[in-house]
Structures are given as structure tokens and as C-alpha cells.
Amino acid sequence: CVLVLCWFYIYPGYRLPRDKEIVEEVLRQGEAWEKNQTGVDLYRKLLTECCDPKKMFAVTKEFYHSHTVNKDTYPLFVKNNPLQLPLKKCAVVGNGGILQHSKCGRDIDQADFVMRCNLPPLSKDYVEDVGTTTHLVTANPSIIEKRFQNLLWSRKAFVDSMKVYGSSYIYMPAFSMKPGTDPSLRAYYALADTSSNLTMLFANPEFLRTVGKFWKGRGVHAKRLSTGLFLVSLALGLCEEVTAYGFWPFSVGLDEQPVSHHYYDNILPYKWFHAMPEEFVQLWHLHKSGTLRIRVGHCT
Ligand code: CDP
């Protein structure tokens, strides 16, 4: 392994490589990438052992005896895992500014299953870089509160803005923390009452917990794992091949020019909440071992 990242693995308490060092490391590696089936199988096995994504990723009616499922919530859950497994080529799309001018939209849309984070904008200004196809999109309850007034006023703006996600699954962590439950259930009913094409899937809190523990054991020390890393973990458990786009939590790009935090704005996350650079180092390790592919440059 290349020197900079080796430091990190050998001395987990050691400092993270600086942005510039990561840029140099990524440039040295270049676009070369080869799938390593042994690495893919190993990670699927590890994730299955720790977190059983196939069975556990969403709350289903099967979990009838858990505290989440009672007579009020039972009708809201899917019967069992609704995905046709195994999924073949999956694209996990993070929201990083590295996607700007990447022209990765067509690549992303060609995947068999496309996962996106946090109801991202997919308007025509972004299509060329991020595509439009979506099969699963996460929605944090805080987005419902902040962007849609907790759905206590009009629901129309919410229902209309969900149309860009076609007939995908909306994946919400409704039961991980108490304040998140009400906004999530409101979102569920807003869609159900308007016969929306979207299907709500509620993230299983136990799955979120075990995935967090899995990465903690691998040196990701954050208050909470980023949404993107959850989705990559899910994809590694469910898909035959995983490509990640929009993962670049650094302030400079490969051309050493400034990069905004998101492809649609430059609002930075609360500083100590996530450990995205640590997560990136892990993902880059998986990229180098051929377990998944990270696209950081242009797709043309
Ligand atoms: O809610 P959260 O802060 O986790 O995510 P976001 O800002 O909506 O972005 C979605 C995901 O993209 C993040 O969870 C990260 O995994 C990834 N991301 C990244 O790697 N680099 C960035 N500059 C921004 C996001």
C-alpha cells in the first residue's frame, strides 16, 4: 500500500492524511481499477455476519414483536424485504461537490440500482453530472422538519418535490431517535394519501446500530456514520458490483482547485458530527483492493 495511507492503517491513532496528500495519492492511483471478486465476497460475508443487510435493512411486518411494531404502525411496514436480490451493478451517489462538471450522470443512470442520499436536487441543471434515475433515496427526518415545515402546513410542496424520484423507495430512519418518528410518519401519510408512486421503507434501527459498530471497529470514530457510508455498506451487502460517486469530503479537488461541500451548495456539516475524511480513507482502501469503485474524476 502507498505510504500515506499505510501510516493510517499501521497507527490507527495517527493523524489523518491532509487533503493535499489524499489528492496526491488518488492521482497516483489514477483511473485504474479492477474488480477483485475475493474482496467483494469477503466484504459481503463480513457485513452479512455483523449486520445481515438482506434481512435487516428495513423494518418489515416480520418484526412484529419488536417495540417498533405495534397495532398502529403494523400497516405501515412492507411485508418482507421488497428488493429483488442480488442486485447487479449498484451506484451509490453521495452529495459531494466533486460531482460538479463530472459528467457522471449517464454512468450513474446506467446502473441497475441507484441509491441517493438525503433527497438531493435532481433538476435539469444537475442532470449531466448526477443523472436522474433513482431506486432508493434516503430522507432524514430533519429534512422534513427544516425544508417542509414538518409537514404541518402544506403537504403539496413535499409531494410535488418527491416526483423527481419516480417510483423509488424512500428510506427513512424513523425509529432510531424519538423526535424523528413523527416527521417520518407524516411523510409516510403525505405520500400514501396522495397515491404517490414512492414506497416508504423505514430503516431498521438495529441495522443502523450494527453498521455503525462495524465501521467503528475499523477506525471510523464519529458521533454518527454518514448517510453515504450506510448506503455503501448496504450496497456491499446486496449488490454484485458497487460504484460510489460524489464521495469527496475535501476542500480541494484533483486539479487542486476549491471544491464545494455539496454539488448544489457549500453548507458544511456540523464539525464533530461525522468523520467523512476517515470514512473516505476506508472507502479508498476498498477501492484499491477492488472491492468497490470510487469515481472522483470525470466520467467521460
Ligand atoms: O447527511 P450527511 O451529512 O451524512 O450527508 P450529505 O451532506 O447529504 O451527503 C451525502 C453523503 O455524501 C454523505 O453522507 C457522505 O457520505 C458523502 N459526502 C462526501 O463524501 N463528501 C462530501 N463533500 C459531501 C458528502
For ligand 1, pick from 226, 261, 270 the residue to mutate: most ligand atoms within 8 Å of CB: 226
The residue contributing the CA closest to ligand 1 atom 24 is 96
32-37 long-range contacts (CB < 8 A, ≥24 apart) are 33/287, 33/290, 33/293, 34/290, 35/241, 35/290, 35/293, 36/289, 36/290, 36/291
pLDDT tens for the chain, residues 1 to 300: 444 444 444 444 446 677 888 888 999 888 889 999 999 999 999 999 999 999 999 999 887 667 677 888 899 999 988 999 989 999 999 999 999 999 999 999 999 999 999 999 999 999 999 999 999 999 999 999 999 999 999 999 999 999 999 999 999 999 999 999 999 999 999 999 999 999 999 999 999 999 999 999 998 988 889 999 999 999 999 999 999 999 999 989 999 899 999 999 999 887 656 789 899 999 999 999 999 999 998 998
Q: State which amino acid sits at residue 159.
A: V
Give 113's Cβ-side CA count (13 Å radius). Answer: 20
Four-residue CA torsion sign, 140, 212, 22, 94: negative
Q: What's the CA-to-centroid distance between 71 and ligand 1, angstroms?
A: 35
The residue contributing the CA closest to ligand 1 atom 15 is 228
First to last CA, the chain: 28
Q: What's the CA-to-centroid distance between 166 and ligand 1, angstroms?
A: 22
Q: What's the CA-to-centroid distance between 245 and ligand 1, angstroms?
A: 11
Is 246 touching ligand 1 by the criterion CB < 6 Å? yes
Strand order in the sheet with 199-202: 199-202, 169-172, 136-138, 113-116, 87-93, 239-245, 293-295
Helices (H) and strands (E) in the chain, counts: 12, 7
Q: What's the CA-to-centroid distance between 105 and ligand 1, angstroms?
A: 18
Is 228 touching ligand 1 by the criterion CB < 6 Å? yes
Query: CB-based contacts of 131: which residues, under 8 Å, 6+ apart?
Result: 93, 104, 105, 106, 107, 108, 109, 114, 122
pLDDT on residue 47:
98
The residue contributing the CA closest to ligand 1 atom 12 is 94
pLDDT on residue 275:
86
Q: What's the angle, vertex CA 201, arms to CA 68 and CA 181, rounded to 5?
A: 45
pLDDT on residue 20:
83
184's enclosing H/E stretch is helix 178-193
**Closest ligand 1 atom, residue 261 Cα:** 23
Helix, strand, coil in percent for the chain, rounding step 5: 45, 15, 45
pLDDT on residue 22:
87
The residue contributing the CA closest to ligand 1 atom 20 is 247
pLDDT on residue 88:
98
> Which SS3 state, helix, strand or coil, does residue 88 take?
strand
